[in-house]
Structure 1
Amino acid sequence: MVIIVQARMASTRLPGKVMLPVLGKTILAMMIERLQMIQHKATVVIATSVNPEDDIIEQEAHSLNIPCYRGDQNNLLDRHYQAALQHNADVVLKIPSDCPLIDPQAIDRVLTYFFDQTVTPDYVSNLHPATWPDGNDVEIMTMACLKQAWENAEKNLELEHTTPYIWENPQLFNIGNVTWETGLDYSMSHRFTIDYQEDYLFIKRVFEELYPINKNFSCDDILDLLERKPEIYQINAGYAGVNWYRNHLNELKTIQPEQTKQAPVSQ
């Protein structure tokens, strides 16, 4: 089983975001540390581009003793497939590098669901529909499923975002979804992902508050912190619900307008 973390320096809204500092480490290093806390056994691979500006990503991977695959900047589907192929993966997890606060327990819950099914699903996520706070994105697929997408996907959004071909074609795949066990839906109200400067300030503050006390802090610990210190929640609250879907509503059959929001006008 391989966890593939897509990472690159080029970002129109927050360039170099994965290498921003938090408590003397990088955002990417903090995220890798959280991925290594899961109970299931998996190999973590960083998948970046061949572009020269991403040399620093490869250097960071080496410093973390994590394998690094380099491929096409824009074809993330090919990058994931080739990285999985290189590491002889039978099961592939896609977890983007903009989720540094991802809860290891959320990953384990989705994995447990995947492995507990009588018939192995092709694809399982906690995103369709999403219920966890944004930034706890877990997508699991068999290698055969990823290969089928790689062979057949043609649209730019399918290549750029890796998995839309799968979840947009439920008639072709055995698809499962895991909802947050609380019964709540914070996917549009709580933002733990990084895409804007305010996100970085929020994530940095959460790590500064929780990491020194318990490195393996959970989603519940973050929510408790936000209850105690609502000013932290407000740092990036204006971007809650903003995700990439907003740019592709006319192309996505399974995504509804209420599942995304436009960024504030100032951006």
Structure 2
Amino acid sequence: MQGSIYEKLNYIRYKGMQRMKRKVAAIVLARMNSTRLPGKVLMDICGRSMLGHIIDRLRKVRLIDEIILATTSQKEDEVLLDFAKEEEIKSFAYEGDPEDVVARIREAGEKFKADIMVNVNGDCPLIHPPVVEQLIKALVEHDAEMSTVANLDGKKVIHGGVNVFTLKGWQKVDENSTELYQRQNTTACLLDYPDLLKKVEVKDKPIFYQINHRIWVDTPADLEFMREVYKRLYKPGKIVNLEDVIHLLEKHPDLMEINSHVRQKGLKDKSRKVVFRVDGDEKVGMGHIVRCLALATELQERYFCGVSFIIKGEGGIVEMIREKGFKVEVLPSRISGENEAKRIVDFSRDYGANRIILDLKDEVSPEYIFKLR
């Protein structure tokens, strides 16, 4: 078929009296219950939420017909459905396993009758609109089932979080994702079965291969880095130019030190959740708190752990812990050992923790420890 990319995308073939066209939908994956940084997708970056910046960038891609926010039916994700209404985009609440992103994408694509799906992670506020457009064009022009950004001389491109698929191609991914880790990741199955789909690769400009640094948000350190970049480059009503980001990092390489130590979670790495029960205030001293905060940050940034704290205290101590990005449960100052142990167990169960770390100023009884086991 001859003609421009628009003619190919809008190509009409007749089937009886029904007209059919190829619909391109951006499917943005987002949940509030992120392990390492809960609620990150709605956290503020220069007066706009991270998801808001992603939507702004997708709106710059002329070939996208519809933007769909794909979340879950979990209660904590209802706020994302409200966000979609405010942004005047479509939304989809997947009712199956919240961790099954493969099925969530497939069902969203099927519900909104997408022919081509731009799969977007909701934690990448610097996705690059020009390359998204290139990926869509390449998929159509090569009649492929998947398009992705190629490496250049062994170097990975700095931007990420986006791949393009046909719906039929993604249905193949769904059918072949039989392992749990494959269903929880958008690329795991394709790494295991590289010949599953007809794939085309797109090379981006050389400038985007010059710096190897993470520009997606998984931890408080990543968020701090992103806020600093936006603080220097963002202008309301416009999107941050990714080439300007590269130039900024070349001129100020110290910015990358903010989150260069954060480890990227591997496909088969498991997330864990840990609860710290710790004592500390101005009277008894801050050593326990400071020590546990350092350990919690290490677990979060290097070992893919979600962390919450249970403390006795109030005011400045609570705020200090929350400022580090951790959830805090405050116990009454006067509570029996038995009731305290029960509160810890109940909180840990609700949080989904599989480890409890104690750092207390007073010795506890064997019965207390037994109740926590």
Match for residue 11 of structure 1?
34
RMSD value, Cα: 2.5
Matched, 1:39 2:51: no
Matched, 1:162 2:192: no
User: What is the CA–CA distance in structure 2 between the aligned matches of 1:82 and 1:266, rounded to whole Å?
Assistant: 28
- Given that 2:144 and 2:200 are in contact with CA atoms closer than 8 Å, whether structure 1 keeps it comes out as yes
User: What is the CA–CA distance in structure 2 between the aligned matches of 1:236 and 1:185, rounded to whole Å?
Assistant: 19
Match for residue 201 of structure 1?
224
> Quick one: structure 1 residues 213 and 219, their matched pair in 2 at CA, closer, same or farther if it must change by over 3 Å?
same
User: What is the CA–CA distance in structure 1 between the aligned matches of 2:25 and 2:236, rounded to whole Å?
Assistant: 30
Higher percent of residues as strand: 2
Shift of 1:42: 2.8
User: What is the CA–CA distance in structure 1 between the aligned matches of 2:194 and 2:169, rounded to whole Å?
Assistant: 12
Structure 1: where are the runs of 5+ without partners? 249-261
Match for residue 113 of structure 1?
138
- The structure with more radius of gyration: 2
Matched, 1:149 2:170: no
- The range that moved more, 219-228 or 230-239, is 230-239
SS where residue 88 of structure 2 aligns? Answer: coil
Letter aligned with residue 112 of structure 1: K
Match for residue 173 of structure 1?
197
Map 1:47-196 → 2, pairs under 5 A: 47-71=70-94, 72=96, 73-117=98-142, 120-126=143-149, 131-133=156-158, 135-182=159-206, 185=209, 189-196=212-219
Letter aligned with residue 264 of structure 2: V
> Quick one: structure 1 residues 109 and 218, their matched pair in 2 at CA, closer, same or farther if it must change by over 3 Å?
farther
* Structure 1 stretches of 4+ moved >6 Å: 127-130
Between 1 and 2, higher relative CO (CA 8 Å, sep ≥ 6) is seen in 1
Letter aligned with residue 158 of structure 1: Q
- Given that 1:167 and 1:175 are in contact with CA atoms closer than 8 Å, whether structure 2 keeps it comes out as no
Structure 2: where are the runs of 5+ without partners? 1-23, 271-299, 306-373
Letter aligned with residue 221 of structure 1: D
Match for residue 233 of structure 2?
210
Identical aligned pairs, as a percentage?
A: 24
Give me the TM-score of the superposition, normalised by structure 1: 0.84
> Quick one: structure 1 residues 103 and 74, their matched pair in 2 at CA, closer, same or farther if it must change by over 3 Å?
same
> Quick one: structure 1 residues 230 and 66, their matched pair in 2 at CA, closer, same or farther if it must change by over 3 Å?
same
Give me the TM-score of the superposition, normalised by structure 2: 0.61
Shift of 1:127: 6.4
User: What is the CA–CA distance in structure 1 between the aligned matches of 2:133 and 2:83, rounded to whole Å?
Assistant: 26
**Aligned residues, how many?**
249
Shift of 1:53: 0.5
